[in-house]
Homo-oligomer: A and B are copies of this chain.
Amino acid sequence: MATFNGLSQNPVYHKLNELAKEPFDLTMAGALNKKRISSYHAQTAGYSLLYGTQRLNHDVLTALQQLADDSQLVTQFLQMKKGEVINKIDGYESEHRQVLHTCVRDVFTGKPLHRDSAQQAKTELAKLQNFLEDLTRCTISTPDGGQFTDMILIGIGGSDLGPRALYMALNAYCLPDKRIHFISNVDPDDAAMVLRGINLKNTLVNVVSKSGTTLETLSNEELVRNAYTKSGLDPAKHFIAVTGKNSPMDNPDKYLQSFHMFDYIGGRYSATSMVGAVILSFALGYDAFIELLKGANSVDIAAEETDIRKNIPLLMALIGIWNNNFLGHQTLAILPYSQALVRFTAHLQQCDMESNGKSIDRQGRQLSYNSGPIIWGEPGTNGQHAFYQLIHQGTTTVPVEFIGFRKSQYGEDLTIKNTTSQEKLIANLLAQSIALATGREHQNPNRRFAGNRPNSVLIADQLTPFSMGALLAIYETKIAFQGFLWNINSFDQEGVQLGKVLANQLLDNLVESHTTDNTISKNDDTGKLMLKAAGII
């Protein structure tokens, strides 16, 4: 791949800085008029993005289009999907890998963009389909010969957040007799709490770790294996694995069945690989999972559109850059008006912050501009009764991405005071968007709203497996586009290494303390001093 310049070297950078000195004023009378609302409206894969409530105008959009074109964002996206090695830092040791999370959903045509990885995806899907049939037919069964009803997912980070967020999002479509449980934290109380409420006999345990060496996952696996053994059950008849080929966990003696993941898919992008596939197809059925893949794939294709006004992930990426690098806002609240998306923001927090929380560019040079923002949020309307006070009247401006759906999932609703709960939900979402944008004057300064708080509304018809897949891919693709613009490697995570190294040193100190006294000597290292100060040794 060619070397790309950073954001600040782009010819249009100074133009955008000029435009940012007087951003569009959303508080002007008539600012949110018919023309603005209807023209600041993009559509992709069943979603609409209403962005008239952002602080931008056509001049800004034209400059952002130029930024996208000059940075060849769509070209870079295509190169990624075609298997170019983009997970690297030029001139330095790095993971040096392809980035092919899109391949696991590029399985619906005879011409995938990257043939080998799509073939591997198909092989794993076929294995999964066979395994699910074995479960249905009770060829693989509980000790009593019945169907397994429960599955525990043991994983952490990318092996937990994505699958968990999607499972909760699609719980309404769950098969009636299936339940999923999650153990992730090395805190032993996490496993204890889950195990307390479960019938192990009817439960499959799905251990997920690409490396097969994740500390938390291996510890929790041992805790759960121990619980099985203590109950007189054979773990080998309950445990399955999702892991990298030839990893220490890729061991048929220990697992009923193993599914594979590959080093060209990062953990935080693995929700549509076997990492999410196994639990989601167990809980929702295989066909529902395929719908999810189709939704994601539809965005992967639509995001090749170069007109930013017709490509939601690209447009969201550029609006994010506008708010972050030109208007100076360091955080982004993602606020879904859907209780089912209760953990989706946490997944995006990982996906975005682990990808774009970087300080060097793809050539190893210090960045001269901000990269990824802090991502946070909780579902509305709940948040309205919590942190929205600060979003409306605090001293820090927080850009917001609202997400909503026209219909509920269960359809169980009542009309109270002439409107349904679903109508109240959507009315609140749109009201918040308008209130943040326009603000309100008032003679009582405490009832004054400054407005000009930038936000967008992303809306689709209903949260289904298909639209969930599309939503996931919209954000994955937005994050990739932003990484390309910042000229950073969005696909490694060297920032998690130092903590691991130090934790191992502290564990050595702890082991040592089991057998020796804990007098602090003059040469003791920080770790031992902290353990002592914290009252651990």
Contact = CB atoms under 8 A, between A and B. Distances in A.
Contacts of A394: 353, 357-359, 371-372, 495
Contacts of A505: 431
A526 B451 CA distance: 15
Central interface residue in A190, A195, A390, A457, by most chain B CB within 10 Å: A390
Nearest to A35: B529
9 contacts: A34-B520, A38-B529, A41-B533, A89-B446, A157-B386, A268-B386, A354-B386, A358-B389, A374-B374
Interface string A159-175: 01100000000011000
A396 interface: yes
A32 interface: yes
Interface string A342-384: 0000100110011011111000111101111111101111101
A381 B218 CA distance: 14
B496 A388 contact: yes
Scoring A214, A398, A410 by chain B CB atoms within 10 A of each residue's CB, the highest score goes to: A410
Contact of A393 (B161, B171, B388, B495): B495
Interface in A380-421: 380-382, 384-396, 398, 404, 406, 408-410, 412-414, 416, 418-421
A440 interface: yes
Q: How large is the interface on A (under 10, 10 to 19, 20 to 34, 35 or more residues)?
A: 35 or more
B390 A353 contact: yes
Considering the complex of A and B, which 3 residue pairs feature the smallest CB-CB distances, nearest first?
A357-B390, A157-B385, A350-B386
A410 B353 contact: no
Contact of A495 (B195, B389, B529): B389
A529 B374 contact: no
A185 B382 contact: yes
A153 B26 CA distance: 39
Contacts of A34: 520, 522, 524, 529
Nearest to A156: B385
Contacts of A110: none
Interface stretch (A231-239, A464-472, A506-514): A506-514
A307 to B, nearest CB: 20
A192 interface: yes
A499 B370 contact: no
B189 A389 contact: no
A186 interface: yes
Interface stretch (A101-109, A252-260, A333-341): A333-341
B527 A431 contact: yes
B340 A189 contact: yes
Contacts of A140: none
Nearest to A40: B533
A215 interface: yes
B339 A190 contact: yes
Contact of A48 (B172, B492, B506, B534): B534
Given A188-B412, A349-B378, A450-B359, A390 B222 contact: no
Contacts of A192: 172, 408-410, 412
A382 to B, nearest CB: 5
B534 A499 contact: no
A219 B426 CA distance: 14
A428 B364 contact: no
Interface string A112-154: 0000000000000000000000000000000000000000000
A291 interface: no
A534 B48 CA distance: 7
Interface in A481-537: 489, 492-500, 502-503, 505-507, 510-511, 514, 520, 522, 524, 526-527, 529-531, 533-536
